[in-house]
Amino acid sequence: MRHSLSLLLLLLISDSVNAAPTDTIKPFVTGSFATILAAHQGQQTIISFWSPDCPPCIEEMPLWKTLRRTHPELAIVLVTTEPLSTSTRSRAILKRFELTDIEAWAFADPVIERLRFDIDRQWFGELPRTYLLNAANKLSAVSGLLPEGWLQRWTEYSSHSEQ
* pLDDT > 70? residue 2: no
First to last CA, the chain: 65
**Cα gap 51→139, rounded to integer Å:** 22
| Measured torsion, CA atoms of residues 157, 148, 54, 123, in degrees rounded to the nearest 10 | 40
Q: What are phi and psi of 48, to 5 degrees?
A: -115, 125
Give the residue from 127, 35, 133 showing the smallest Cα distance to 75.
133
Beta bridge partners of 133: 45, 139
pLDDT in tens, 17-74: 333 344 589 999 999 999 999 999 999 999 999 999 999 999 999 999 999 999 999 9
pLDDT for the residue numbered 21: 42
**Burial tier of 115 (Cβ tally within 10 Å: 0-12, 13-18, 19+):** buried
pLDDT in tens, 83-142: 999 999 999 999 999 999 999 999 999 999 999 999 999 999 999 999 999 999 999 999
Show the domains of the chain with their CATH numbers: 18-160 (3.40.30.10)
